[in-house]
Chain A
Amino acid sequence: MRDVAVVGFAQRQMPEFDGSPTCVELLVPVFKELYEQTGWTRKDVGFWCSGSSDYLAGRSFSFVQAVDAIGVIPPVNESHVEMDLAWAMYEAWLKIQTGEVDTALVYAFGKSSAGVLRRTLALQLEPYTMTPLWPDTVSLAGLQARAGIDAGAWDERAMAEVANRSLTDAEKNEHAIRKGGSSVEELLARPMYADPLRKHDCSPVTDGVAALVLAAGDKAREVRERPAWLTGISHSIDPMGMGVRDLTRAPSAQRAGAALDLGGVEVAELHAPFSHQELILRRELGLGDDVVINPSGGALASNPMFSGGGIRVGEAAQRVWSGEADKTLAHATSGPALQQNLVCTLAASTEGNQN
């Protein structure tokens, strides 16, 4: 298999974007930033892949419009997934593995604030017995949180600890839209929202875009002294029904993690849109107390739909580029209550590349 690294990352996040759902206005400066990071022009990018959904903001073919931000004369090699940026990255990684291209730029965009995000996401549920009830994202997460509390797998204090650490770490992240930790006691004193969830247990509705650059072998080494090599990448999915799996677990996250060598991971960026989901993921991935979790503040600090998972990859890659860590882990999720999970490892060395 070819050695492939993450060598570029840029993002824009905000509570409400006052502009078109195509987000071209945000993508143009993000691409410019990536051309500066890599020293490339758009003609050096072998493959493009985007992640988005028209349902989010009600604009048809928004991903076709978004291609304007690339500029497509001469034509570009381009694809799209109705999934998070992390899965767009997976497609690009596969494309590079085929040998057809050596480089890729993957991007995602979403204007969640245009509609009612937690309601819109009911459209990804089973269409006969779930969607007609419009079970919103927060309610489905609340059912999961309660199941774990009742089973003794976690408690409200453990959830508040996750939120407090995330909001404290987010103070150092200029892109976070919710930040400022206080104390576990203070968080627990706040009122319930969707009992058993308080508002700080739920990621904020976020608009934004993000993009990653991938490159193989020497192409990656030309861009960065310490490329973040994708030494392992795996994803898996659980059944959609809320009744047919143990909600206190995420078997697909466990399976994705078990396919990789997670030994030596120093930092893990976990895509947990609800506080208790971080606790599930740490258990399923077997991450010990010595692993630094979500130094960016994670999804509780900002979670732009379609970028939130890929941003975890970018944050984990940055820690490798900077020399802060030799091996990091990134995780992305999709679907209700951690239904689908992607895990990858990023390392300063290509040794032990499992791909």
Chain B
Amino acid sequence: MSRTLQAPVTVAFDYTRSTGPVVGRFLSGLRDGVVVGARTSTGQVVVPPLEFDPVTHEATTEFVEVSSVGTVTSWTWVPEPVKGQPFDRPFAFALVTLDGADVPFLHALDVSSPAEVTTGMRVRVRWAAERVGHINDIACFEPLAPGEAAATAPAASSSEPVTGVVTEVSLDYDYAASPEESLFYRGLNEGRIMGQRCPTCQKVYVPPRSACPSDGTPTAEEVELSQTGTITTFCIVNVPFLGQKITPPYVSAYVLLDGADIAVLHLILGVPADEVRMGMRVRAVWKPEEEWAYSLENIDHFAPTGEPDADYDTYKHHL
């Protein structure tokens, strides 16, 4: 058994950004098959255009169309491409100074080996077949043979100025739980609720943490907790939201398991929502064992035990 539980996790989000007038002008140009730069106060033509002048800090206003043909000023080989790069096979990243521009611009260069690239070589933009106003409207740079001209971009589908861009970000991780979290989830997989006691303040944490948040002491002593507890506080959920698994109204409550010093958040069923109250005694109701996994969802919900309500003094320090 490995020391900790591990699982693949993907965190993904589509970043939607407004472009503003300068980046918008550049991306509108790409959509139309034209590379647009801007002139700075020192007379340099910069691609992509800077939003503000690096010297005077004035907003950029003078746009300049440059060629889609240029010269490689530096390059690097990418032997093991990562997800989302312009190619999923080895390629080069290059800095290319386009004709009419004074500084280089970063993009991929489509070559099949480092032997096919040299600093100073001539390249041209290969336009993407479908262009929407995004940096990937340039598919890549490609070597330009002597006598060849710039590539012509197929007609664009729109002529509206580009004002926004969506960038998909997706990150894959091999996620590990801490040894203490692993204890907790392994316990759940066996139908047990495991916590740990702080050796300094004697508080019992569930789920257990790597150190007691009160005094920073690692919590070592394992404690199996009772399956019954007391509702310390609760709320009735009436509002639907994305990803909601239960139809409202339902009750979310903090349940202080007997013997624990930290309440766990869970669902209360088996009682009308308007009858749930602070001090109510509840018991864990587990899903059928064949559905168990390393998850708190193994406990389907908590339901009233029918015992008399707990005395307020027994949980007043845990609110």
Please report A residues at the B interface, Cβ cutoff 8 Å: 18-22, 24-25, 28, 31, 42, 55, 57-59, 65, 67-73, 111, 113-116, 118-120, 123, 127-136, 138-147, 150, 192-197, 239, 241-244, 247
A-B contact pairs, 16 of them (CB 8 A): A25-B218, A71-B217, A72-B214, A114-B173, A114-B175, A127-B15, A127-B167, A129-B48, A132-B84, A142-B77, A143-B95, A143-B106, A145-B76, A146-B119, A147-B74, A241-B50
B77, B167, B171: the one contacting A131 at CB < 8 Å is B167
Q: Decide: B213 and A28 in contact? CB cutoff 8 A.
A: no
Q: Decide: B210 and A116 in contact? CB cutoff 8 A.
A: no
Q: Decide: B173 and A133 in contact? CB cutoff 8 A.
A: no
Q: Within 8 Å CB of A239, what residues of B? A: 54
- Cα distance, A114 to B94, chains bound together (Å): 29
Query: Could you tell me which residues of chain B, from 180 to 229, have a CB within 8 Å of some CB in chain A?
Result: 181, 209-218
**Number of residues from B at the complex interface, CB < 8 A:** 65
B50, B85, B171: the one contacting A120 at CB < 8 Å is B171
- The answer to the question of B265 belonging to the interface, with a C-beta cut-off of 8 Å to chain A, is no
Q: Within 8 Å CB of B2, what residues of A? A: 18
Q: Decide: B176 and A139 in contact? CB cutoff 8 A.
A: no
Q: Decide: B213 and A72 in contact? CB cutoff 8 A.
A: yes
7 closest A-B pairs (Cβ-Cβ)? Answer: A142-B76, A71-B216, A20-B178, A24-B210, A195-B77, A58-B173, A71-B215
- Nearest Cβ distance between residue A48 and chain B, in whole angstroms? 11
Given contacts A25-B179, A242-B104, contact A143 B74 (CB under 8 A): yes
Given contacts A114-B174, A132-B135, A244-B50, contact A192 B214 (CB under 8 A): no
Q: Within 8 Å CB of B154, what residues of A? A: none
Q: Decide: B75 and A146 in contact? CB cutoff 8 A.
A: yes
A19, A71, A128, A141: the one contacting B212 at CB < 8 Å is A71
Q: Decide: A150 and B176 in contact? CB cutoff 8 A.
A: no
Q: Decide: A71 and B76 in contact? CB cutoff 8 A.
A: no
- Nearest Cβ distance between residue A239 and chain B, in whole angstroms? 7
Q: Within 8 Å CB of B78, what residues of A? A: 136, 139, 194
Q: Decide: A192 and B77 in contact? CB cutoff 8 A.
A: yes
Q: Decide: B135 and A128 in contact? CB cutoff 8 A.
A: yes
Given contacts A132-B134, A146-B119, contact A243 B171 (CB under 8 A): no
Q: Within 8 Å CB of B27, what residues of A? A: 128
Q: Within 8 Å CB of A195, what residues of B? A: 76-77, 114
- Cα distance, A139 to B92, chains bound together (Å): 9
- Nearest Cβ distance between residue B131 and chain A, in whole angstroms? 14
Query: Could you tell me which residues of chain B, from 87 to 111, have a CB within 8 Å of some CB in chain A?
Result: 93-95, 103-108
- Cα distance, A87 to B114, chains bound together (Å): 38
B108-141 Cβ-contact flags toward A at 8 Å (1 or 0):
1000001000010000000000000011100000
- Cα distance, A139 to B95, chains bound together (Å): 11
- Cα distance, A141 to B217, chains bound together (Å): 42
Chain A, residue nearest B166 (CB): A132
Q: Decide: A132 and B136 in contact? CB cutoff 8 A.
A: yes
Given contacts A24-B210, A128-B27, contact A134 B175 (CB under 8 A): no
Q: Within 8 Å CB of A18, what residues of B? A: 2-4, 176
B79, B106, B107, B178: the one contacting A22 at CB < 8 Å is B178
Q: Decide: A42 and B176 in contact? CB cutoff 8 A.
A: no
- Cα distance, A33 to B77, chains bound together (Å): 43
Q: Decide: B167 and A132 in contact? CB cutoff 8 A.
A: yes
A25, A135, A140, A142: the one contacting B178 at CB < 8 Å is A25
- The answer to the question of B151 belonging to the interface, with a C-beta cut-off of 8 Å to chain A, is no
Q: Decide: B82 and A119 in contact? CB cutoff 8 A.
A: yes
- Nearest Cβ distance between residue A108 and chain B, in whole angstroms? 17
- Cα distance, A73 to B95, chains bound together (Å): 53
Q: Decide: A115 and B173 in contact? CB cutoff 8 A.
A: yes
Chain A, residue nearest B212 (CB): A71
Q: Within 8 Å CB of A114, what residues of B? A: 173-176
Q: Decide: A128 and B216 in contact? CB cutoff 8 A.
A: no
Chain A, residue nearest B115 (CB): A195
Q: Within 8 Å CB of B47, what residues of A? A: 243
- The answer to the question of B46 belonging to the interface, with a C-beta cut-off of 8 Å to chain A, is yes
Given contacts A132-B136, A195-B114, contact A71 B213 (CB under 8 A): yes
Q: Within 8 Å CB of B54, what residues of A? A: 239, 244
B4, B48, B104: the one contacting A19 at CB < 8 Å is B4
- Nearest Cβ distance between residue B282 and chain A, in whole angstroms? 28
Chain A, residue nearest B218 (CB): A28
Q: Decide: A135 and B93 in contact? CB cutoff 8 A.
A: yes
B46, B135, B214: the one contacting A133 at CB < 8 Å is B135
Given contacts A22-B178, A132-B167, A243-B105, contact A143 B86 (CB under 8 A): no
A59, A133, A145: the one contacting B175 at CB < 8 Å is A59
Of the listed residues A20, A21, A22, A69, the one surrounded by the most CB atoms of chain B closer than 10 A to its CB is A20
Chain A, residue nearest B46 (CB): A244
Q: Decide: B209 and A19 in contact? CB cutoff 8 A.
A: no
- Cα distance, A122 to B95, chains bound together (Å): 17
Q: Decide: A58 and B11 in contact? CB cutoff 8 A.
A: yes
Given contacts A19-B179, A194-B76, A242-B106, contact A24 B171 (CB under 8 A): no
B74, B77, B104, B211: the one contacting A24 at CB < 8 Å is B211
Q: Within 8 Å CB of A131, what residues of B? A: 167, 169
Q: Decide: B76 and A139 in contact? CB cutoff 8 A.
A: yes
Q: Decide: B211 and A134 in contact? CB cutoff 8 A.
A: no
- The answer to the question of B9 belonging to the interface, with a C-beta cut-off of 8 Å to chain A, is yes
- The answer to the question of B284 belonging to the interface, with a C-beta cut-off of 8 Å to chain A, is no
- Cα distance, A18 to B178, chains bound together (Å): 8
- Cα distance, A192 to B114, chains bound together (Å): 10
- Cα distance, A145 to B75, chains bound together (Å): 9
- Cα distance, A334 to B171, chains bound together (Å): 21
Given contacts A22-B210, A24-B210, A58-B171, contact A42 B216 (CB under 8 A): yes
Q: Decide: B211 and A68 in contact? CB cutoff 8 A.
A: yes
- Cα distance, A129 to B82, chains bound together (Å): 17
- Cα distance, A116 to B81, chains bound together (Å): 11
- Cα distance, A251 to B169, chains bound together (Å): 31
Query: Could you tell me which residues of chain B, from 38 to 69, have a CB within 8 Å of some CB in chain A?
Result: 46-48, 50, 54
- The answer to the question of B158 belonging to the interface, with a C-beta cut-off of 8 Å to chain A, is no
Given contacts A127-B15, A133-B135, contact A70 B77 (CB under 8 A): no
- Nearest Cβ distance between residue B164 and chain A, in whole angstroms? 10
